[in-house]
Amino acid sequence: MKYMGSKAKVARYIVPIIQEQIERSGYETYLEPFCGGCNVIDKIEAPQRIASDCNKYLIALMQHIQAGGELPGYIEREEYAKVRANRDDYPEWYAGYVGFVASYNGRF
């Protein structure tokens, strides 16, 4: 997922360092404190991986996907503007989907 603050471009440098520490320490759980677009955690090999973030819309979206929830298709610019202006009127996962997937180059 591309967005401001993404670790996608630096993941190839970060992951080997984290992976080495996991293997050397014998830890079985990796906790990603700022999962964002999951560009690091998806490359980490550990028996248990836990993603965390302070953005409630992002976490709600990830939980919705994890539970097998359906995702809408294309989001029109008008729908994006409506949800952005009134995000508390929508389920958190939907506001997250609209904000992260259909951003129209705006900050959600």
Show pLDDT as tens, one digit a residue, over the chain (108 residues). Answer: 555 678 889 999 999 999 999 999 999 999 999 998 899 999 999 999 999 999 999 999 999 999 999 999 999 999 999 999 999 999 999 999 999 888 777 677
pLDDT computed for residue 102 by the predictor: 86
Q: Looking at the structure, do residues 105 and 81 belong to the same domain, yes or no?
A: yes
> Which DSSP state fits 40?
T
The domain containing residue 13 runs over which residues? 1-53
pLDDT computed for residue 6 by the predictor: 82
Q: Looking at the structure, do residues 43 and 77 belong to the same domain, yes or no?
A: no
Q: Looking at the structure, do residues 20 and 30 belong to the same domain, yes or no?
A: yes
pLDDT computed for residue 59 by the predictor: 95
In 1-108 the beta strands, taken as DSSP E runs, fall at 29-32, 48-51
Distance between CA atoms of residues 17 and 2, nearest Å: 23
Region of 70 (left: φ > 0; alpha: ψ -120 to 50; beta: rest) is: beta
pLDDT computed for residue 81 by the predictor: 94
Residue that terminates a domain, selected from 38, 53, 68: 53
